[in-house]
Amino acid sequence: MTTPTRQDALRLDRDDPIGWLRNEFVIDDPELIYLDGNSLGRLPRRTEAALGRLIRDEWGNDLIAGWDRWVDLPRSVGELLAREFLGAEQGEVVVADSTSVNLYRLSSAALGARPDRRVVLAVAEEFPTDRYILEGLAADRGLEVRFLESDPVEGLGVGRLADALRAAEDAGGVAVVVLSHLNYRSGALESMPEMTAEVHAAGALMVWDCSHSIGSVPIDLGASGADLAVGCTYKYMNGGPGAPAFLYVRRSLQGTLSQPVWGWFGQRDQFAMGPRYDPVDDIGRFLVGTPPVPGLVGIRESASLLAEAGIGALRAKGIALTELAITLADDWLGPHGFMVGSPRDSARRGSHVSLRHPDAWQISQAARAAKVVGDFRAPDSLRLGFAPAYTRFVDVWDALDRLRAVVATGDHLRYDGALGRVT
């Protein structure tokens, strides 16, 4: 197969059914190729407008009366995510607090529902905050967290999970399994229905972290049987820096699970300010404090925009973009010592691609100087996120071409010293 040309890439853009989406985003510098939308998504134009109205008109002029509308945002934005991106039902998703705080609350609730079991399973390559949250919960309760080894490219897989569930039986059994739907480094996608079924067969509860998949890969929490889920909204969902996270609780569990942070936004008849905590009967009982309104508005705007394209079309384009990237990486970067650190089967891969190289940090710096913004993930990954909403095929071609030039000329070798801070 011949290597795709820049003309091929331009043709793919012309034929792209969701090519119009890019124009809905603020893009100041046409030379900059932004491949970090999996870390901080771009600003949709409608979000800029909506936040302007929120601040100037709603806060500035409506003042306290703004809360008549704002108070429902955690639920209404949750419904939007549930319907368009999560395969969840009405009343199963709310948006509030950070991913870390939500993971703490839901994992704590899940552990409370399996009081006689002693083991929590997670992946050693899991995103750090998930691991730390579980460590803290386990330390407080005298439980054991087993961090499972996964394949650095292909992920954990059902087989390793099943083995670990069985192996834990002697140690008191598994209470809760926490897994990322999509690995933050390699982009490997785990099978939500198959793994959830294994976890349930072992009598444990399943918590999915969808931070790196929501907005790029269709998620069907309902059909998968997932018990609980959390996820980030400022990556592919473009909610803005520090936008709050979603949480999902299967309806059948809402009456039995108790989350530990009992706040007034979960209270029945909140403004009666009654003497004792008496949470509502539905997903609202998983709310705690006053929600961050600008972040919620940011999510609402971007989610409504992405919903116009549809997650199916976004997914199809994400696959096509990453296929092109991998083809070019093999042809152009392989000879310079790069290895593709992401699954080659597109059904098992999200919308970002990891390229491994011993000089990955230096290359990431030189790439930025060449206006290709990806990110470095220790120890040796250059992570390139191809957000389907605003990344063109020609961007993929140009980015890989610039990377080729960097390593061909050795431009990256002028960088050294301590690792830079990369978010």
**Is 13 one of the annotated active-site residues of the chain?**
no
Q: Map the footprint of a second copy across residues 261-300, applying CB under 8 A.
A: 261-267, 270-277, 288-296
**Which residue in the list 383, 393, 395, 411 is annotated as catalytic?**
383
DSSP state for residue 268 in the 8-state scheme: T
DSSP state for residue 214 in the 8-state scheme: T
Could you tell me the sign of the dihedral formed by the alpha carbons of 150, 194, 206, 229, in that order?
positive
Phi, psi at 46, each rounded to 5°: -70, -25
**Count of residues of this chain found to bind a second copy when the rule CB under 8 A is applied:** 85
Q: Map the footprint of a second copy across residues 139-168, applying CB under 8 A.
A: 140, 147
The answer to whether the beta carbons of residues 44 and 408 sit under 8 Å apart is no
User: What is the rounded CA–CA span in Å between residue 329 and residue 135?
Assistant: 37
Give the residue, chosen from 234, 236, 332, 397, that forms a contact with a second copy under the rule CB under 8 A: 234
Could you tell me the sign of the dihedral formed by the alpha carbons of 420, 101, 175, 111, in that order?
positive
Taking the complex as a whole, the smallest distance from the CB of residue 53 to a second copy amounts, in Å, to 12
Taking the complex as a whole, the smallest distance from the CB of residue 138 to a second copy amounts, in Å, to 10
Taking the complex as a whole, the smallest distance from the CB of residue 32 to a second copy amounts, in Å, to 8
Q: Which is nearer to a second copy, 143 or 288 (CB)?
A: 288
Taking the complex as a whole, the smallest distance from the CB of residue 374 to a second copy amounts, in Å, to 9
Q: Is 202 in the site for a second copy (CB under 8 A)?
A: no
Biggest alpha carbon–alpha carbon distance for the chain: 72
**Is 227 one of the annotated active-site residues of the chain?**
no
Q: Is 213 in the site for a second copy (CB under 8 A)?
A: no
> What number of other Cβ atoms are within 10 A of residue 400's Cβ?
25
Of 318, 358, 319, the residue nearest 341 (C-alpha): 358
Identify the burial level of 56 via C-beta atoms within 10 angstroms of its C-beta, where 0-12 means exposed, 13-18 middle and 19 or more buried: exposed
Give the residue, chosen from 84, 135, 144, 380, that forms a contact with a second copy under the rule CB under 8 A: 135
**Which residue in the list 25, 127, 248, 376 is annotated as catalytic?**
127
Token output for 128:
């750090």
SS3 content of the chain, % helix, strand, coil (to 5): 50, 15, 35
E-strand spans in 186-320? 205-209, 228-231, 246-249
Taking the complex as a whole, the smallest distance from the CB of residue 36 to a second copy amounts, in Å, to 4
Q: In which residue are the tokens 């985003």 written?
A: 25
DSSP state for residue 275 in the 8-state scheme: S
Q: What angle do CA 353, 378, 241 make, to 5 degrees?
A: 70
Q: Which residues of 171-195 are buried (b: 16+ CB within 10 A; e: fewer)?
A: eebbbbbbbbbbbbbbbbbbbbeeb
Q: Is 28 in the site for a second copy (CB under 8 A)?
A: yes
**Is 392 one of the annotated active-site residues of the chain?**
no
Of 118, 114, 101, 87, the residue nearest 181 (C-alpha): 87
Q: Which is nearer to a second copy, 87 or 244 (CB)?
A: 244
Q: Which is nearer to a second copy, 274 or 337 (CB)?
A: 274
Give the residue, chosen from 21, 42, 176, 195, that forms a contact with a second copy under the rule CB under 8 A: 42
Taking the complex as a whole, the smallest distance from the CB of residue 22 to a second copy amounts, in Å, to 14
Q: Which stretch binds a second copy (CB under 8 A): 161-169, 259-267, 333-341, 386-394?
A: 259-267
Taking the complex as a whole, the smallest distance from the CB of residue 261 to a second copy amounts, in Å, to 5
Give the residue, chosen from 21, 70, 198, 236, that forms a contact with a second copy under the rule CB under 8 A: 70
Q: Is 68 in the site for a second copy (CB under 8 A)?
A: yes
Taking the complex as a whole, the smallest distance from the CB of residue 290 to a second copy amounts, in Å, to 5
**Is 317 one of the annotated active-site residues of the chain?**
no
Q: Map the footprint of a second copy across residues 293-332, applying CB under 8 A.
A: 293-296
Q: Map the footprint of a second copy across residues 358-387, applying CB under 8 A.
A: 373, 375, 377-378
Q: Which stretch binds a second copy (CB under 8 A): 152-160, 188-196, 243-251, 348-356?
A: 243-251
Give the residue, chosen from 61, 115, 159, 347, that forms a contact with a second copy under the rule CB under 8 A: 61
The answer to whether the beta carbons of residues 367 and 402 sit under 8 Å apart is yes
- SS3 label, residue 220: coil
Which residue type sits at 158?
A: V
Q: Map the footprint of a second copy across residues 82-101, applying CB under 8 A.
A: 97-101
DSSP state for residue 217 in the 8-state scheme: S
Give me the active site residues, please. Answer: 127, 209, 234-235, 383
